[in-house]
Chain A
Amino acid sequence: DAKTTQPPSMDCAEGRAANLPCNHSTISGNEYVYWYRQIHSQGPQYIIHGLKNNETNEMASLIITEDRKSSTLILPHATLRDTAVYYCIVRVLAGNQFYFGTGTSLTVIP
């Protein structure tokens, strides 16, 4: 069962930062927060993951609140190619599967 809550859709202007929120109020101490995105009918693409600390890579930044009950994925300069469904997933450290919800459909507007 999905343990996260995300808004169903968001818009972002091209070139601006896209901030995608995720609530995971029941997260446990041994659970990671993962983000994937899926561009229309393709396989999900791994973006980033974290446990407690904020993380940054070449694609995005992940900000996790101190109580770990929510997080935000930041795409610093959104482009049209970032239009996709973004999934926030909580994964048990000892678990072997990802529970996907319905995600946030992000539309980047020219």
Chain B
Amino acid sequence: GAGVSQSPSNKVTEKGKDVELRCDPISGHTALYWYRQSLGQGLEFLIYFQGNSAPDKSGLPSDRFSAERTGGSVSTLTIQRTQQEDSAVYLCASSLRLAGELTRYYNEQFFGPGTRLTVL
């Protein structure tokens, strides 16, 4: 597709329920990132996938959060037993890894429109 897509665009759930958020990165982009943007806050890094390497999960706030990336493309972020503090906009981004001298361009990320999660 032309850009990064995310679904659903909005999700309202009840406290304690599990939710799944989906991200379709730009075709050919090998890196995929998840961020969280809470009201009045900046972007909080959650998790990063690069090719077949082990994901960098250092930003996941608790073990209720997990993510997977199937076939090096689509990614799903799962939040189990949602809490009200999980309410936020969840953003996905992808980037293209370039070789050699161009590697410093690697981190130009392209963002999706986000999923707004509301936990009641």
Same complex: no
B residues in contact (CB < 8 Å) with A: none
